[in-house]
Amino acid sequence: MNFKAILQKLLDRHDLHHDEMHALMQALMQGEATPAQIGAVLIALRMKGETPAEIAVAAEVMRELSARVPVRSVAHLVDTCGTGGDGVNTFNISTAVAFVAAAGGARVAKHGNRSVSSSTGSADVLEAAGVNLNLTPEEVAECIETVGVGFMFAPAHHSAMKHVIGPRRELGVRTIFNMLGPLTNPAGAPNQVVGVYDAELCDVFTEVLQRLGSAHVMAVHAEDGLDEISIASPTRVSELKSDTIKPWWIDPAEFDAAHESLEPLKVSSAEESLAMIRSAFAGETGPHADIIALNAGAALYVAGLAADYAEGVREARKVLASGAAQQKLDEFIQATQQFAS
């Protein structure tokens, strides 16, 4: 690969062809580029603007190089991993959603990491709950089959990312890699609810996931900036279903879940986040339970366990009221601990 030619093409604001993008990502992920080259192409791509085609190829390469989770079937298999980076510092909603969805019958392949931009990432919260994060891909698959939930700790499945960590950290700005986490589920989950940090990315993500063969996806971004379905403002949705993409909006007031602000949802530690999740799982009502229901409803819908989004929300509320989500979390903790060495 002619690195200089690729860089010049990007600087001239020209999109990369499939083979060029594939070769570039292979070089970045396999340690064939210097830190200066990595930083240069990431910024040049960002300045040009990454196209859905380029993002899809980047995700393909990451998938090829990842440690795959050998699930027996992708029926009702869903991921709730978002991009993060909204800067709002709410409790870890997508993690709570995973257990509500699983208790509602979904098979959840939750992809996640430690916190990048907020006070608490999914891995931080699960670790605080007593979950063993150090599972092999086969052990994650066993958790999905027996409990209905598996957590794929990103660094364990994407070891090739180590080559770009340093330059990314030093750059300190968003690059294409900020988008790739939710696009590279190691279990191949065909259904997703993916929160994105920018409204413009809703349509980008559904187009990329369509190119990657996903079945049913809701990409969401709220008007208040939240990368989840919000209780404090309408949320923009781009939905991929039956190979068709359509935009629509979710108004929390229509689900009796509207609140003045996101302030009651803010936390400063993994322990606080876990306490808020456990409170909702114990049947306590309020803004924290409402936002879990709105997002878990989406997960149940895309997993094929609800005829529409409204039915998904109703089912999620039933799960929260029943205590089944807490039971599912307890089962998951126990399942992961059996693999502790």
> Is-contact 222 110, C-beta < 8 A?
no
Q: Quickly state the pLDDT bin for 121 (edges 50, 70, 90).
A: confident
**Is residue 119 a known part of a binding site?**
no
Q: Quickly state the pLDDT bin for 117 (edges 50, 70, 90).
A: low
Q: In terms of domains, do 156 and 241 share one? A: yes
**Is residue 85 a known part of a binding site?**
yes
Say if residue 116's pLDDT is above 60.
no
Say if residue 115's pLDDT is above 80.
no
**Is residue 6 a known part of a binding site?**
no
Please state the separation of Cα 155 from the chain's center in Å.
Answer: 14
pLDDT of residue 123: 92
Say if residue 320's pLDDT is above 90.
yes
**Is residue 12 a known part of a binding site?**
no
Q: Containing domain of residue 106, as a range?
A: 77-337
**Is residue 90 a known part of a binding site?**
yes
Q: For residue range 39-60, what is the model confidence (pLDDT) as tens digits?
A: 999 999 999 999 999 999 999 9
Q: For residue range 187-213, what is the model confidence (pLDDT) as tens digits?
A: 999 999 999 999 999 999 999 999 999
**Is residue 41 a known part of a binding site?**
no
Q: Quickly state the pLDDT bin for 341 (edges 50, 70, 90).
A: low
Please state the separation of Cα 199 from the chain's center in Å.
Answer: 16
End-to-end CA distance of the chain: 43
Question: Cα–Cα distance between 204 and 198 in angstroms, integer?
Answer: 10
Distances (CA, A) of 126 to 24, 77, 88, 92: 35, 20, 20, 10
User: Dihedral, CA atoms, 249, 255, 256, 259, nearest 10 degrees?
Assistant: -30
Q: In terms of domains, do 209 and 136 share one? A: yes
Q: For residue range 253-296, what is the model confidence (pLDDT) as tens digits?
A: 999 999 999 999 999 999 999 999 999 999 999 999 999 999 99
Q: In terms of domains, do 119 and 168 share one? A: yes
**Is residue 168 a known part of a binding site?**
yes
**Is residue 94 a known part of a binding site?**
yes
As a whole number, mean pLDDT of residues 20-45 equals 96
Look over the chain and give the mean of its residue pLDDT values, rounded to a whole number.
Answer: 95
Q: In terms of domains, do 319 and 199 share one? A: yes
Position 55 in a domain: no
> Is-contact 76 105, C-beta < 8 A?
yes
Q: What is the CATH number of the domain that holds 181?
A: 3.40.1030.10
pLDDT of residue 118: 58
Beta-bridge partners for 149: 108
**Is residue 116 a known part of a binding site?**
yes
**Is residue 82 a known part of a binding site?**
yes
DSSP 263-279: GGGB-SSHHHHHHHHHH
pLDDT of residue 220: 98
**Is residue 323 a known part of a binding site?**
no
Position 87 in a domain: yes
Distances (CA, A) of 206 to 7, 24, 217: 27, 23, 7
**Is residue 114 a known part of a binding site?**
yes
What is the number of domains present in the chain?
A: 2
How deeply is 338 buried, as exposed, middle or buried, from its count of CB atoms within 10 A (0-12, 13-18, 19+)? exposed
pTM: 0.95
As a whole number, mean pLDDT of residues 87-92 equals 89
Q: Which of 8-12, 85-89, 202-206 has the lowest mean pLDDT?
A: 85-89
Question: Cα–Cα distance between 137 and 143 in angstroms, integer?
Answer: 10
Question: Cα–Cα distance between 79 and 188 in angstroms, integer?
Answer: 9
pLDDT of residue 161: 83
**Is residue 110 a known part of a binding site?**
yes
Q: In terms of domains, do 28 and 164 share one? A: no
Q: In terms of domains, do 122 and 207 share one? A: yes
Q: For residue range 169-187, what is the model confidence (pLDDT) as tens digits?
A: 899 899 999 899 899 999 9
Position 255 in a domain: yes
Q: In terms of domains, do 85 and 32 share one? A: no
Of residues 301 and 81, the one with the higher pLDDT is: 301
As a whole number, mean pLDDT of residues 229-249 equals 98
Position 282 in a domain: yes
